[in-house]
């Protein structure tokens, strides 16, 4: 009688062990199947601002689970190097289809160098930031008589810091119509750069 009870207990443990093993294998299969539903899309490797062009350092491949909304983001199968950014994308964000355009859309873009004192702009200014540019008259100014906003919501394409000279140079992205008035004002005033949020 005791042996029969022992056999029943041993058999039930065996059945329980096999059941746990089968559940674990089934779970692993379901997890693996779910993981295989991920897609590879492009993400921003740095802050990207409107008007800039995508380079290989600006993008990175990421695998994400986007079962229903994958069509809203750019697949890594798409070649997007050189594409024009048309809306701000923060570093690490997935790149939406609507945030970039073909290079043909950039005909009116002009890349203008601007130099300012390091004390007249944010110390941590970077490519991809959006800025406003102000001109302030100096003692030698002939045309600029009061502070004025000369560029609003300008995308920064590059930043060059020259600490030993106390200056910072940026490349701003402007429309062709903005360039001549901008140069006239810049040649006659002090430049203040303010980062937008």
Q: What is the pLDDT of residue 9?
A: 53
Structure-block tokens of residue 117? 């004192």
pTM: 0.63
2 has pLDDT over 60: no
More confident residue, 162 or 64: 64
159 forms bridges with which residues in the sheet? 170
CB 121 within 8 A of CB 168: yes
67 has pLDDT over 70: no
Ranges of H-type helices in 36-141: none
100 has pLDDT over 90: no
Identify the residue whose tokens are 């690490």.
Answer: 92
Structure-block tokens of residue 63? 């695998």
Q: What is the mean pLDDT of residues 15-39?
A: 73
Q: What is the mean pLDDT of residues 44-59?
A: 88
Please return the burial class of 189, using the count of CB atoms within 10 Å of its CB with bins 0-12, 13-18 and 19+: buried
How far the first Cα of the chain sits from its last, in Å, is 81
122-139: per-residue pLDDT in tens?
988 988 899 999 999 888
Residue 86 DSSP class: -
Domain boundaries defined on the chain: 1-36, 39-105, 108-195
Q: What is the mean pLDDT of residues 18-24?
A: 79
187 has pLDDT over 90: no
Helix or strand holding residue 176 (H, E) = helix 176-186
Mean of pLDDT over the chain: 82
151 has pLDDT over 60: yes
3-state secondary structure of 73: strand
Q: What is the mean pLDDT of residues 18-32?
A: 75
Q: What is the mean pLDDT of residues 58-84?
A: 84
**DSSP string for residues in 92-106:** T-B-BGGGEE-GGGG
Q: What is the pLDDT of residue 146?
A: 87
Cβ partners under 8 Å of residue 149, min gap 6:
132, 133, 134
Q: What is the pLDDT of residue 52?
A: 85
**Assigned CATH class of 39-105:** alpha beta
145 has pLDDT over 90: no
């Amino acid at each position: 009688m005791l042996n029969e009870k022992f056999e029943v207990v041993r058999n039930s443990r065996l059945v329980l062990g096999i059941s746990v093993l089968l559940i674990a294998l089934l779970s692993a299969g379901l997890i693996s199947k779910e993981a295989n539903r991920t897609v590879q899309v492009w993400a921003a490797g740095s802050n990207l601002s409107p008007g800039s062009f995508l380079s290989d350092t600006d993008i990175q491949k990421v695998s994400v689970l986007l079962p229903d909304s994958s069509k809203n983001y750019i697949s890594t199968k798409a070649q997007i190097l050189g594409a024009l950014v048309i809306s701000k994308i923060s570093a690490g964000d997935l790149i939406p289809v609507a945030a970039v355009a073909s290079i043909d859309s950039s005909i009116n873009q002009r890349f203008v160098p601007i130099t300012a004192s390091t004390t007249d702009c944010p110390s941590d200014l970077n490519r991809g930031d959006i800025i406003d540019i102000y001109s302030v008259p100096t003692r030698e100014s002939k045309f600029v008589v009061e502070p004025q906003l000369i560029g609003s919501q300008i995308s920064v394409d590059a930043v060059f810091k020259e600490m030993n000279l106390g200056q910072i140079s940026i490349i701003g992205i402007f429309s062709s119509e903005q360039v001549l008035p901008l140069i006239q004002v810049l040649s006659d005033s002090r430049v203040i750069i303010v980062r937008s949020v």
